[in-house]
Structure 1
């Protein structure tokens, strides 16, 4: 336990060496919002550009314009990586959603990519969250700085943009591919995946790894959110205020629309980024879908790659009723 927490704290020290220099706070105007209406989506107009052949795959990028424009042209153009099986007949479609402040897909790829490409042949899509990667504006200090911040409205609108655009992408896949849709989220991507599960009926399987539940809890109580909390407190925002303002982003406020037997939650017992108490709240509120609890910290994303891959892919195969290879 001590070793796991120490690794996380060292990583967090390094994380905060790069932090916001500008103040982001913006007040929040609270109006009653219907969740289904707020996150409503239609199919996106997706362009697929394939420019490389790898083994039995064609690799390239997908892109489309955001359905919820933020006003920043860089952020409002989505671009992700795509790997399509050349014999794309009823292949499952796996969408990977990355974590906060990641600046590449490498961590996720090192867990799943080669195993899927070499052994399974599934189609793979790597989705970029708002203000990350190529969507990061020039004035942003780090990837994801403008997605989650003390700007209360922008954080909610960024969440809405992420959810609506991801739902729109899923609708496009369902309209253009015949295989099931699987969504795998890691860290903040797990939170996004969980929120998607409460909204989208066209997702067949959900896997959420080292996920956050309530964004308000994560910002107020964990080390990654401490500087955002400081800025909020400087402007008189209390924890109760924040819970109210960001309630519409909480996955535990609703039951999943995905079959509970097709949901896998994976948590780290000693996680210093995402506290287990918050992860437990989601698990309980969803009436305990299958969960695996690892004896590690958040760094287990790197240290437990093989275990994460084996257990995740085994779970998916069973739900797809595919034999082990």
Structure 2
């Protein structure tokens, strides 16, 4: 009885999240994903994506500049590593919740279409000796596109823009982490929520400065998540007349965490997964496939699976269990 009610609650929450999401045109937009390269067809796009998925430099910052950071007690801002036509999106903001004279930092990457940062989560960790930086991902918060009702430029049926946006999020996160290292933080961790877990995972895979990564509601293939997930039905509806899931997997292969498991499984990186057994947004099989691949590559991730849904993970008592487990891991 209780779990039937919980499933209905998650479904109602998912329906509210559909407001403003409409099918859009399928667009290749290869120049965004691979600037300066001449790619005229979907086939060429996929071939280039295949190469990017094994290229350890694909998520490197295009330009480096530490002098561009502006910081005070509560905020740090800096130019994005990637420039777009949306002016607001080109400045990255991170909210700081400080924790006294400690040398540990946690960078939090929020979920897709997050309406605001979460001061409760930031306070929870800052009270335990960790200074928290809640970064705004592309097209969210201060970086939102004027007139948009949700972050449609972050994840959409525009294949090239989605690759660009996720890469931008990764490069911006790495830029902030490099600055934190220069500021004297000795241990830097990342925490990602849903889509933010893909970003945090890609950063952890490519940045040796990351010591720990706690990934909430993570999966391997972003393409599979979009194709099968409850929150992305409008994107699938926009895509399926033009391509199938196998083709989408190739197009977005650089964003598939399973293609980066050898880097994620490196011995000096500690990994934690907090998952929902009743998740209809990131299906459990996507999480299980990633964890299986990590273990086959020699990784030893900590895994907590709770009997709740994607949205109900944020409710009592599940969020308490998740928070305590993450605190134990990060502290």
TM tier relative to shorter chain: 0.7 to 0.9
**Mind listing any 5+ residue stretches in structure 1 that lack a counterpart?**
51-58, 318-325
Deviations 1:23-43 (A, max 9, x none): 242125412435322111346
Residues 1-325 of structure 1: matches in 2 within 5 Å?
1-20=3-22, 23-27=24-28, 28=30, 29=39, 30=45, 31=48, 32-33=51-52, 35-41=55-61, 42=64, 44-45=66-67, 47-50=69-72, 59-85=73-99, 87-88=100-101, 90-106=102-118, 109-110=119-120, 112-118=121-127, 120-142=128-150, 144-234=151-241, 236-254=242-260, 255=262, 256=264, 258-259=266-267, 262-287=270-295, 288-298=300-310, 299-303=312-316, 304-317=318-331
Q: Secondary structure at the match of 1:300?
A: helix
Q: Which moved further from structure 2: 160-169 or 32-41?
A: 32-41
**Mind listing any 5+ residue stretches in structure 2 that lack a counterpart?**
31-38, 40-44
Which residue of 1 is the match for residue 34 of structure 2? Answer: none
Q: CA RMSD in A?
A: 1.9
Q: Secondary structure at the match of 2:161?
A: helix
Report the CA distance between 1:261 and its aligned residue: 6.3
Deviations 1:152-209 (A, max 9, x none): 0000011111111111111111111233001111111112112222211110111011
Residues in 2 aligned to 1:6 and 1:138: alpha-carbon distance in whole angstroms: 34
Q: Which moved further from structure 2: 124-133 or 204-213?
A: 204-213
Tell me, yes or no, if the aligned pair for 1:92 and 1:122 is still in contact at 8 Å: yes
Report the CA distance between 1:92 and its aligned residue: 0.6
Tell me, yes or no, if the aligned pair for 1:260 and 1:289 is still in contact at 8 Å: no
Change (3 A) 1:204 1:260: closer
Residues in 1 aligned to 2:133 and 2:224: alpha-carbon distance in whole angstroms: 30
Residues in 2 aligned to 1:124 and 1:277: alpha-carbon distance in whole angstroms: 31
Report the CA distance between 1:251 and its aligned residue: 0.8
Change (3 A) 1:258 1:72: farther
Report the CA distance between 1:302 and its aligned residue: 2.8
Tell me, yes or no, if the aligned pair for 1:95 and 1:127 is still in contact at 8 Å: yes
Tell me, yes or no, if the aligned pair for 1:188 and 1:212 is still in contact at 8 Å: no
